Amino acid sequence: MDRAEKQEAVAALREVFSKTGVVVVAHYSGLTVAQLQSLRKQARNAGATVQVAKNRLAKIALDGADVASIAPLLKGPTLIAYSDDPVAAPKVAVAFAKDHNKFVILGGAMGKTALNPDSVKSLATMPSLDELRGKLVGLIQAPATKIAQLSTAPAAKLARVFGAYAKRDAA
């Protein structure tokens, strides 16, 4: 990597660290290329990104960022998983760590809040932003649906009664 490429990498990482909702740091030593590709695919499907970055460049990019608390975690073969949704990256990382014991979650950061491995795991158990939106829409729509059912129920009952009398009289 020459100097220009390093500056580009630092600029890209700086942008990532300034715009993401959550960053998870993990050791990936001992994983195969296929396993890492599988992790990247799972992350992409969940709306997160997994990236292996040089620790030294990542530390330079962290200077002045909200997630600067992850700098001490960047030692050895580390990768970062990040997403705008505060739950997507932790969910992917925790799910992958359950299946692969060589993938070790070191911690992370959500804004200025530093996360230890247990915090990342508890964050992964929370519903995602889309799930919360769905529940909220369901709660908002439920009363309207019930009102509509109640307003049409008497007419439907009346129609069934008239239908029953008509069938009885016809017989």
**What is the predicted pLDDT for the residue at 112?**
87
Strand order in the sheet with 78-83: 48-51, 78-83, 22-27, 104-110, 113-115
DSSP character at residue 127:
P
Two structure tokens written together for 6: 């390093």
The whole-angstrom separation of Cα 167 and Cα 127 is 53
DSSP-based three-state secondary structure for 77: coil
Please report the pLDDT score of residue 148 as a whole number: 67
Collapsed DSSP state (helix, strand, coil) of residue 5: helix
CA distance 131 to 6: 39
Mean pLDDT per 10-residue interval, the chain, length 171 residues: 88 89 92 93 93 91 88 92 90 93 92 89 83 80 68 70 78 67
Q: For position 64, what pLDDT does the model report?
A: 82
Q: Which residues of 90-116 are buried (b: 16+ CB within 10 A; e: fewer)?
A: bbbbbebbeebeebbbbbbbbeeebbe
Give the pLDDT of residue 98: 93
Q: What 8-state DSSP symbol labels residue 20?
A: -
Class of residue 45 by CB neighbours under 10 A (exposed 0-12, middle 13-18, buried 19+): exposed
pLDDT of residue 134: 84
Q: What is the pTM assigned to this prediction?
A: 0.72
Please tell me the predicted confidence (pLDDT) of residue 149: 67
**How confident is the model at residue 147, as a pLDDT?**
65
Contact between 40 and 79 under an 8 Å Cβ cutoff? The reply is: no
pLDDT score, position 135: 81
The answer to whether 138 and 52 have CB atoms below 8 angstroms apart is no
